[in-house]
Amino acid sequence: MTSDFEAQLRAVSLRVTRPRLAVLAALRDHPHVDTDRVIELVRAGQPTVSHQTVYDVLRALTDSGLVRRIQPAGATARYESRVEDNHHHVVCRSCGAIADVDCTVGHAPCLTASDDHGFVVDEAEVVYWGTCPGCATTRMTSWPASSEGNK
C-alpha cells in the first residue's frame, strides 16, 4: 500500500519519511484539500507532526511534481496528487467545492490562444466556475420565498 508512495518519493530523489507518506495518502483519499485539512488528516495518524512539517512536506512534494497546488481566485490553496494529466477544475462559487474535469482535448494546452505573442504556449489553466449540486438544491428550495404556498 505505502510502497507505491515510497517508490514515488524515491523516483524524485526525496527521502522516504512518515509525514511525506502520510501527506501522499491523505491527498490520494481526499483530493483538493487545503493545508489545514491536510494537517488534520496527517495528525489523525501521527498526532505529533507539526504544522511546519506539513507545510515543508507540501512544498517539497509540490516542487518535486508529486503534488499539484491549485489556487482558484479568492480561495485558499488546495492540493491534489493527480498530477499525471492536464485536467481542469470546476469550482462552486458558493461553497468552494472543487471537482476534476478531464482535459477538454486530452493534452495540454487544450486551448489555442487567439494571439500567442510569439510565446511558446505549453499550458492553458482553465477553471470552470459555477454552482455545485448541493448549493443549487439549497438555492432552489429556499428561493423564491414560498409565495406558491408549498410550505
Residue ranges in contact with Zn ion by CB under 5 A: 80, 92, 94-95, 97, 100, 132, 135
Length of the chain in terms of residues written? 151
Nearest distance from C-beta of residue 134 to Zn ion, angstroms: 5
Our CB check for Zn ion shows the closer of 14 and 70 to be: 70
Nearer to Zn ion, 97 or 103 (CB): 97
110 known member of a binding site = no
Q: Annotated binding residue at 132? A: yes
Binding residue per annotation — 92? yes
Question: Distance between CA 22 and CA 74 in Å, rounded?
Answer: 28
The smaller minimum CB distance to Zn ion, of residues 6 and 29, is found at 29
**Whole-angstrom distance, CA of residue 108 vs CA of residue 121:** 9
**Rounded CA separation 58/52 (Å):** 10
Query: Distance from first CA to last CA of the chain, Å, rounded?
Result: 52
Binding site as annotated, residues for Zn(2+): 92, 95, 132, 135
